[in-house]
Amino acid sequence: MRNAITDVPGVLVGHATRIGDGALTGTTAVLFPPGTLSTVDVRGGAPATRDTAALDPRYGGREVRGVVLTGGSAYGLAAADGAARELGSFVPAAALFDLGRGGDFHARPGPAEGAEAVRRAGVEVGQGNVGAGTGALNATLKGGLGTASVALPGGVVVGAIAALNAVGPAVDVDTGLPFAAGLGLPGEFPAYQGDDLAAARVEGHAPPFNTVIGVVATNARLPHLFALAGAAQDGLATAVRPAHGLTDGDTVFAASTGTHDADAGEVLAAARAVFARALVHGLFRAESVTTPWGHLAAYRELYPRTAAEYRGN
């Protein structure tokens, strides 16, 4: 187990990352094995998506080869063109707002980034300032891309990947810990370190447009696949407070390869925790960035002792 969405057999992840020359953005492709069904849950008042209507949960979703998570807001959805050409099929996509965060408003993903992300897909999943998490922010902190998984009885696996880009903070200022740290597996996240508390009250302005985007996947057969996406959205609301606001476009794709029988309740409970844990990993793995607009400090810079105990397992 890699503690990654690629622990679900057949799921692959690839990134295209652009940093420098005014760019701070990227694209992530999540690929599924043949026969995988997918649907999507879109919440909040400002989504940027493509072909999500084709995954209408009223019809049980649809078989797809993969989905694209990308920066660049609505402009970045062009990355799905390149991914579709590489895969030879349509590719649903969701974008987050990171325009101009590297200095150039026009530096955003396109077809080339989508194709590159597909070509780079494998079982090892980069985290932090990579792919769709490259230009992400979380309130006044640098956000990032994270992934997590859990094994259930009978060979069932639930995994998630998510880009933390939200106006609602993911850190409890009274403890200095992520809100969802308590959902971690044994030893996954560090315990509270008291001398970090002074760093918790940082000043700054949260970004005006925000979106958490991600994928939750399993090899379990489920009677209602849309419930898997909804459970992941519940996990999002645990990790980020508040979530699903008017300026959010929180979008979660759900995918099932359907190879194993499972207790649906156990799978949904696992999805809530796994998606929240993926967001915590995105927070811990993010790195500080200095741009023409200023310094974007990461959690590891402002909470050094707690971050030093994080092992990323």
Query: CA–CA separation, 166 vs 104, rounded Å?
Result: 21
Per-residue confidence band for 242, with pLDDT thresholds at 50, 70 and 90: confident
Q: In this predicted structure, what is the pLDDT of residue 199?
A: 44
Per-residue confidence band for 202, with pLDDT thresholds at 50, 70 and 90: very low
Q: In this predicted structure, what is the pLDDT of residue 167?
A: 87
Q: In this predicted structure, what is the pLDDT of residue 201?
A: 43
Q: In this predicted structure, what is the pLDDT of residue 192?
A: 58
Q: What is the mean pLDDT of residues 32-45?
A: 94
Query: pLDDT tens for residues 171-199?
Result: 988 888 999 999 999 999 987 555 444 44
Per-residue confidence band for 69, with pLDDT thresholds at 50, 70 and 90: very high
Q: What is the mean pLDDT of residues 101-116?
A: 96
- Which residue would you say has higher pLDDT here, 57 or 122? 122
Query: CA–CA separation, 137 vs 51, rounded Å?
Result: 25
Q: What is the mean pLDDT of residues 11-25?
A: 97
In the predicted model, is pLDDT for residue 205 greater than 60? no
- Which residue would you say has higher pLDDT here, 11 or 175? 11
- Which residue would you say has higher pLDDT here, 139 or 267? 267
Q: In this predicted structure, what is the pLDDT of residue 206?
A: 52
What are the φ/ψ torsions at residue 166 (nearest 5 degrees)?
-140, 145
- The beta-strand segments (E) located in 80-139 are 93-95, 137-138
Q: How many CA atoms lie within 13 A of 64 on its CB side?
A: 29
Q: In this predicted structure, what is the pLDDT of residue 248?
A: 80
Q: What is the mean pLDDT of residues 297-305?
A: 91
- Ranges of each domain in the chain: 5-309
Q: In this predicted structure, what is the pLDDT of residue 200?
A: 42
Query: In this structure, what is the dihedral angle of CA atoms 176, 214, 115, 101, given to the nearest 10 degrees?
Result: -40
Q: What is the pTM of this model?
A: 0.94
117 Cβ contact partners less than 8 Å away, ≥ 6 residues apart: 14, 15, 16, 27, 28, 29, 68, 79, 83, 131
173 Cβ contact partners less than 8 Å away, ≥ 6 residues apart: 200, 201
> CATH code for 5-309?
3.60.70.12
Q: Rounded to 5 degrees, what angle do the CA atoms 8, 150, 218 make?
A: 35
